[in-house]
Amino acid sequence: MGRFLRRLRPRSVRAWLAIGVVVVIAGAVIGGLIYKKNRTGNIYHPHARFVAEPAPSKPVDQFSWPIYGYTHDHTRYFPASSKLHAPFYQVWARGFGTLLEFPPVMRGDHIFQLGDDAVLNAIDKYTGRIFWSRKLGSLSASSPAVAGRVVYVTVLSGPNGGRIVALDYGHGKTIWSRDLPAASESSPMVFGGRVYFGTQSGEVYALNASNGHVIWTYQAGGAVKASPTLKNGVLYFGDYSGQVQAVSASNGRRIWRSGSEGAVFGSGTFYSTPAVAWGRVFLGNTDGRVYSYDAGTGRLDWAVQTGNYVYASPAVTSAPGLGPTVYLGSYDGTFYALSAPSGRIEWRFNAGGRISGSATIIGKTVYFADLGDRRTYGLGISTGRVAFTWPSGSFDPVISDGERIYLTGYSGLFSLAPKK
């Protein structure tokens, strides 16, 4: 091409260059239109399999919120008493002076809150006083997990890079720690004497919970930033290559892997932690869609487009008058309630900002935070009507012990009790 251009007169060279620029621009425009058309559409498979499941009628353990998302299937649903609802009054508040991207976990009278500064605080849930604090690195973005007398924490940046640490519940002494070849912001999930989590290099680990020894690893095609979800012996997670995977929890062997239909240049990335219910896997994607896959085969059941990125993890339950419903927000500032079988939008609420974090359902109220205006909302799960607002909140706002809610704001934790 260079030799050809040198043979031409300067005016001819400029003409050919102009033509080349026009061709490139036209190609980019056409490609962009094709990409947008395929990227922004909804996908429906109306006859996809749907398995009826009863909603939990009582808490798994009313004194414990052991992992991110409450249960191993990450439905983010806590079946609280009808007495636990707004209006609330503030019992105590505790500031931490750092961003709180993820909610705490709880066992007994201890709440464990991990800040983005990689400091883990053990807090008295009745008074808000600090039992102990431990600096575990320089950067973190995950929830801890607690099982028995052990707290498990992943960090993005420790003394030697990514790290997972197991600490004693009572005084915060390190029981074991393991340096990782890559950073981790995957909230650990503990079950059956094992700890499961992912890393930014795409490795998913199963470690022995008592000593940190590696049982198996699985290599995904992209970073695994979400917490793996467990149901019926299968782990489900998305990655930054745009794939959703199901692997055996016992040996790490892949059962299926699935992408997103209709994207010309590939799908977006999966940051969202899956919720698994009714034989489906639900999660959001940065291409703006909410996806539903068959849990047994990985077949795409439906995909619904929002107006912007969906980092949020879904919360799911069967709502009175609606039936099985999926709840989550989008960076377009809208919070959605979607029919779990079909993906149909049941209702939507315009928060007006950017919804980055995930929702949690406590009883008949779904709570979420708006990063744009740093406010927390509680909406009726059947109607979408505002039942609660709080002037603090940015990401994943609420956990509960059945008596109070514990609300994570931008840099502070609040204990709220229902007014008598």
Mean pLDDT, residues 357-383: 96
- CB under 8 Å to 3, separation ≥6 — which residues? none
In the predicted structure, residue 114 carries a pLDDT above the cut 60: yes
Which H or E run includes 6? Answer: helix 2-7
- CB under 8 Å to 347, separation ≥6 — which residues? 337, 383, 384
The string of DSSP codes covering 163-183 is EEEEEETTT--EEEEEE-SS-
Helix (H, G, I), strand (E, B) or coil at 287: coil
In the predicted structure, residue 9 carries a pLDDT above the cut 90: no
Helix (H, G, I), strand (E, B) or coil at 23: helix
Token pair in block for residue 43: 């996908």
Closest to 326 measured CA to CA, from 305, 308, 344: 344
Query: Beta strand pairing status for 77-78 and 360-362?
Result: parallel
- Residue 193: CB atoms within 10 A of its CB come to 11
By CB neighbour count within 10 A (0-12 exposed, 13-18 middle, 19+ buried), where does 248 fall? middle
Q: Which residues pair with 218 in a beta bridge?
A: 204
In the predicted structure, residue 396 carries a pLDDT above the cut 50: yes
In the predicted structure, residue 3 carries a pLDDT above the cut 60: no
For tokens 């039936």, name the residue.
Answer: 323
Structure confidence at residue 379 as a pLDDT band (50, 70, 90): very high
- CB under 8 Å to 375, separation ≥6 — which residues? 351, 353, 369, 389, 390, 391, 392, 393
Whole-model pTM: value is 0.87
For the sheet containing 161-168, what is the strand order?
Answer: 145-147, 150-158, 161-168, 174-179
pLDDT the model gives residue 152: 98
Cα separation, 165 vs 158, in Å, equals: 10
Cα separation, 142 vs 152, in Å, equals: 11
Do 312 and 284 touch, CB atoms closer than 8 A? yes
pLDDT the model gives residue 59: 67
pLDDT the model gives residue 161: 76
Cα separation, 70 vs 266, in Å, equals: 32
Do 99 and 116 touch, CB atoms closer than 8 A? yes
What percentage of the chain has pLDDT greater than the value 70? 84
In the predicted structure, residue 78 carries a pLDDT above the cut 60: yes
Question: How would CATH label the architecture of 50-418?
Answer: 7 Propeller (2.130)
For tokens 């034989």, name the residue.
Answer: 279
pLDDT tens column, 282-291: 999 999 999 9
Lowest-pLDDT range of 46-50, 104-108, 144-148, 413-417: 46-50
Peptide bond into 181 cis (omega under 30): no
Provide the residue ranges of all domains of the chain, joining segments of one domain with +: 1-39, 50-418
pLDDT tens column, 13-47: 344 434 443 443 444 444 443 334 344 577 767 66
